[in-house]
Structures are given as structure tokens and as C-alpha cells.
Amino acid sequence: MPSPKQQKGAAGEDIAARYLEQKGYVILERNYRFMKAEMDLIAFLPASDYERGGDLVFIEVKWRQDAAFAAPEAAVGAAKRRNLTMAAEAFLHERKLEGTPCRFDIIAIVGSGASLDIEHLESAFVA
């Protein structure tokens, strides 16, 4: 049985996935794991220019009840970015997608219940 923290994490990922799908993203994978690293969501964003294809987007979801102490995205420090980069490299290698245009985004959620503030930080960091 998942812990309360795991349940909240899964709920945050559901919220983020629905939000991204409404913006035209296609969710390819959830909770991708490589060694000790986990990527919450991996999505594809089709380009408006069909010839270019689109971007592969690696997404970290962070949810806080209250941002008074720190913004959710502040939890994505250097160590977390290294782990996300490692997971992304493994995903690209496993699927023979090296060289694919990609970026790292953060979905920051603040609040609870019906009162949620969702911020999408595109290209939140560079690997």
C-alpha cells in the first residue's frame, strides 16, 4: 500500500499530466526509473512546424500545500538535477533517441483541494 507521501505524489503527477495534455502534450511515460533516479513524467510536445517534429520533455512535479517556506521548484537542487539528467540520458539511450531535441521542465503546484495554483516552468534548467 502506498504511503501518504506516495499517494500525494501520484495525485500531483495526475494533476500535472492533465494540465499538460490540455496544453497539447502527449504523456509518454510516468515514473520512469533508472538506478536511483526517477523522472515523474516524460512527454512529447509536437511542434507547430510539422517538419521539425517536436520536443521530448522531461518533467519533474513538485507540490506544496503552502509556498510560504519555499517555492516548490526550489526543491529541485543540484543533486536532483543530476539525477534527472542521468535518468533522461538513460531513457534516450534505451530508446535509441540520442540527439532528440529535449528539455527539462518543472510543474510547480501550490495549494490543496479546489484551490490549486499550477505553474509550468519550461526549460527550468539545462543539463
| Number of domain units in the chain | 1
The burial class, CB within 10 Å (0-12 / 13-18 / 19+), for 66 is exposed
Which candidate, 15, 115, 18, places its Cα nearest to that of 61?
Answer: 15
Residue predicted with more confidence, 43 or 9: 43
Residue written as grid cell 539511450 = 93
What dihedral angle (degrees, nearest 10) is formed by the CA atoms of 70, 74, 78, 82?
130
Per-residue pLDDT tens digits for 66-122: 766 778 887 888 999 999 999 999 999 999 998 888 999 999 999 887 788 999 999
Task: Report the CATH number at residue 82.
Answer: 3.40.1350.10
Q: What range does the domain containing 99 cover?
A: 4-125
How, if at all, do strands 37-46 and 26-34 pair? antiparallel
Higher-confidence position of 60 and 71: 60
Q: Answer yes or no: is pLDDT of 53 > 80.
A: no
Bridge partners of 42, per DSSP, are: 29, 58
Taking residues 34-53, what's their average pLDDT? 85
- What is the pLDDT, as a whole number, of residue 25? 94
